């Protein structure tokens, strides 16, 4: 019998069976495998074994990825976290004995007077400890638009009278002075209305003015 062209049951090689009682001469070129013989093994890939193979028949082993970049990344992150914690701790300790200027109240004692024109915080301490100043009066200005420096100066000028009302002998004491905190156009927008009157001491003294 003959196999139709393209029949999937056609034997390997595609040759028709030899005629009864005879054989055909082999075709020119490479000899085809005998009828019924198993197919030859497929050729190896070009160039031999693939990268990572130990040789023909070995499974492909991908190269191991280095964990060094991950370790470096985690180390840097750890350092940044530690630095952040350190800054936070320093900030907490720095503010521990400091009071925001707008939060100062009567009876607060100041370790050292600020030298800057703009004061954000003041170092505070217990009045039983040596200190350079004490808040003795806080005068609140009325709400509204920023009143201007002349209006603020008028309120500041009330501080000497406030001091004499609680410490009449202060006028004759050359070691006592007056330091005033007042609103600026910037702090006024943040609802700062306080004129803070501070008695200053040189040298430092212990105890309160009211004692």
d(CA 51, CA 86): 49
Q: Each residue of 26-76: pLDDT tens digit?
A: 555 555 554 455 555 555 444 433 334 444 444 445 555 555 565 666 666
Supply the pTM of this predicted model. Answer: 0.56
d(CA 42, CA 60): 18
Q: Each residue of 158-183: pLDDT tens digit?
A: 999 999 999 999 888 999 999 999 99
Whether the CB-CB separation of 132 and 115 falls below 8 Å is answered with no
């Amino acid at each position: 019998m003959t196999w139709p062209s393209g029949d999937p049951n056609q034997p390997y090689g595609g040759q028709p069976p030899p005629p009864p009682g005879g054989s055909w001469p082999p075709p020119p070129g490479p000899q085809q495998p005998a009828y019924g013989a198993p197919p030859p093994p497929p050729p190896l890939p070009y160039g031999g074994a693939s990268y990572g193979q130990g040789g023909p028949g070995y499974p492909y082993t991908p190269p191991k990825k280095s964990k060094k970049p991950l370790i470096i990344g985690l180390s840097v992150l750890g350092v940044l976290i530690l630095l952040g914690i350190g800054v936070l701790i320093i900030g907490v300790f720095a503010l521990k004995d400091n009071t925001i200027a707008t939060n100062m109240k009567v009876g607060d004692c100041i370790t050292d007077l600020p030298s800057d024109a703009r004061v954000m915080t003041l170092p505070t301490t217990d009045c039983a400890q040596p200190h350079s100043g004490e808040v003795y009066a806080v005068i609140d200005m009325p709400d509204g638009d920023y009143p201007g420096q002349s209006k603020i100066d008028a309120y500041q000028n009330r501080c000497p009278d406030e001091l004499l009302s609680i410490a009449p002998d202060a006028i004759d004491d050359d070691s006592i002075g007056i330091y005033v905190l007042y609103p600026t156009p910037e702090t006024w927008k943040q609802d700062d209305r306080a004129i803070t009157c501070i008695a200053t001491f040189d040298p430092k003294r212990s105890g309160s003015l009211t004692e």
